[in-house]
A and B are shown apart, each in its own frame.
Chain A
């Protein structure tokens, strides 16, 4: 006689636990921990990273992120409204923009705008922050436009009708009634975009930055070069985590709360 379904489920669960523990033990026993920590996590090098990794590198990462996010949100809102316009050329322009900037890797966009444009036109970026943050914002705008559009479309149609029937113009109704509700809906996905931006700022270092405008990733890489040890990158990774983990937890909390409120 075959075993019952519930018993089989129970044995499967035990087996998975046992395998997981075995895998962890194997890693713990087989890895040469002293060699690993010597190459990747040397305590005196960890201490050497501070305070510059926070006061300079992390600060630059935050500056790039905030500039990229603010620019991305503003342009994203404009492109979202264009996507929803009744005027076809607006919709086409926005669709073309969104497809182009979502379809090209950020590194390529950074190099084209950061280096290519100055070479082609003779025009120079006013400073390294703009040179890095503007391409970042333009790409972020393409992603955020789609997020914002989805948020606006998630607001029930009756809201616009009610606002218009009170005599509000379309822009007035959008600004007063629709967008405030849409923003509430898209706070979790927008926070996710923010986390992605934090990580994407690491690509700005391909533009070759000065000591003053080094971001976290570049700071870690330069540290690896000067110390011949991976510790600076490990510390940089931990600083990224210190920024992103609270945000991803916040999103998880907001989504749990929204789910509970929806019931």
Chain B
């Protein structure tokens, strides 16, 4: 049942001709996208442009209608692919945090290490404490999610994803549900991850983060990639009219 890994150069993510429909709603229309190791790719675009759906296809939370997705040498769209194994290498951070409310911060970071990676309780806890420390929440290990602010919850969620030693991290509007004064602390953690060379796919509305941290910005609209390139190009001097319109709307707020 094992599948021969397909390594396409140094690509961590390689998507070709990806289509996704919800009923008659054609959300993704032939997406091609490659992400190299160490790249930070920010996906921007108006709501309903399909950027979240694209991100959720990368770890198969949404099943593509057609097309091919290869992540870390595993062809996720192949019927023989072990999705659970692949997902354990793909970290995901959600807009709504989705921490497990019946577990403490420490348990949240430990549970998948124990159940999926089969680490010992001691090793899992050691890893978890180090990661909570790293996101600045060493003191909050025994707090339940309900006792934490949104920004703290999101940092725990990042630690939880990092505990699996992922090779790529997906951020799905990770700061959109936060009060404005809490956005910075989460972006700071994301930026430090980027600085350490983590491969990241980031769906975001934070244009300053995209400008300063992204190695590449992808602008999506209507289910297609309209334009992509370094932030200096896509954000500072966009070529496409749709990109200009979007940026004008976003930046003037």
Chain A interface (Cβ within 8 Å of chain B)?
156, 158-159, 161-169, 172, 176-177, 180-181, 184
- Which one of A156, A158, A161, A168 contacts B112 once the chains associate, using CB atoms below 8 Å? A168
A158: B residues at CB distance < 8 A? 94, 96, 98
Given contacts A158-B98, A162-B98, A177-B100, contact A167 B61 (CB under 8 A): no
A169 to B85, CA, bound (A): 9
Closest to B92 in A: A165
CA–CA, A166 and B89, complex, Å:
8
Among residues 160 to 214 in chain B, which have CB atoms less than 8 Å away from a CB atom of chain A? 160-161, 164
Task: Please indicate which of the listed interface residues B61, B87, B99, B112 has the most CB atoms of chain A within 10 Å of its own CB.
Answer: B112
**Shortest distance from the beta carbon of B156 to any chain A beta carbon, whole Å:** 12
Cβ-closest chain A residue relative to B114: A176
Is there contact, CB below 8 Å, between A166 and B87?
yes
Q: Contact check: which of B85, B100, B116, B117 meets A162 at CB < 8 Å?
A: B100
Contact residues of B between 121 and 164, Cβ < 8 Å to A: 157, 160-161, 164
Listed by A's residue number, 24 A-B pairs whose Cβ atoms lie within 8 Å are A156-B98, A158-B94, A158-B98, A159-B98, A161-B98, A162-B100, A163-B100, A163-B112, A164-B84, A165-B59, A165-B61, A165-B87, A165-B91, A166-B111, A167-B84, A167-B85, A167-B89, A167-B112, A167-B116, A167-B164, A168-B115, A172-B115, A177-B111, A180-B102
Residues of B that sit less than 8 Å from A by CB: 59, 61, 84-85, 87-92, 94, 96, 98-102, 111-112, 115-117, 157, 160-161, 164
- Nearest A residue to B87 via CB reads A167
B98 touches A166 (CB 8 A): no
Structural contact, A167 and B88, CB atoms closer than 8 A: yes
Q: Which 7 A-B pairs have the closest CB atoms?
A: A167-B88, A162-B98, A166-B112, A158-B98, A165-B92, A167-B116, A167-B87
| Of the residues A164, A180, A184, contact of B87 by C-beta under 8 Å | A164
User: How many Å from the CB of A68 to the closest CB on chain B?
Assistant: 28
Bound Cα distance A176, B91 (Å): 19
A161-B98, A163-B100, A165-B90 are known contacts; what are 14 more A-B pairs with Cβ within 8 Å?
A156-B96, A162-B100, A165-B61, A166-B88, A166-B111, A167-B88, A167-B164, A168-B116, A172-B115, A172-B116, A176-B115, A177-B100, A181-B101, A181-B102
B96: chain A residues at CB < 8 Å are 156, 158
Are A164 and B115 touching (Cβ within 8 A)?
Answer: no
Most-contacted residue by chain B among A172, A177, A181 (CB, 10 A): A177
B190 nearest CB across to chain A (Å): 17
Minimum CB distance partner of A158 in chain B: B98
Nearest chain B CB to A72 CB, angstrom units: 24
Question: Which residues of the partner chain A approach B84 to less than 8 Å between Cβ atoms?
Answer: 164, 167-169
Assembled-state Cα–Cα distance A180/B111 (Å): 13
B174 to chain A, nearest CB (A): 13
Distance of A180 Cα from B100 Cα, bound (Å): 10
Min Cβ gap B188→A in Å is 22
Q: In whole angstroms, what is the CA distance A180 to B107 when docked?
A: 14
Nearest CB of chain A from residue B80's CB, rounded to whole Å: 16
B91: chain A residues within 8 A (beta carbon)? 165
A162 pairs with B94, CB closer than 8 A: yes
Q: How far is the CA of A230 from the CA of B92 in the complex (A)?
A: 68
Chain A contacts of B102 at CB under 8 A?
Answer: 180-181, 184
CB distance from A201 to the nearest CB of B (A): 33
Chain A CB count within 10 A is highest, among B99, B115, B116, for B115
Q: Which chain B residues border A156 with CB–CB below 8 Å?
A: 96, 98
Which residues of B sit under 8 angstroms from A177, Cβ to Cβ?
100, 111
Alpha-carbon distance A162/B95, docked complex (angstroms): 11
Complex Cα distance, B100 from A158, in Å, reads 10
CB distance from B13 to the nearest CB of A (A): 15
Which residues in A have their C-beta under 8 angstroms from that of B94? Answer: 158, 161-162
Cβ of B104 to closest chain A Cβ, rounded Å: 14
The answer to whether B164 and A166 touch across the interface, beta carbons within 8 angstroms, is yes
Using CB atoms, name the residue of chain B closest to A157: B98
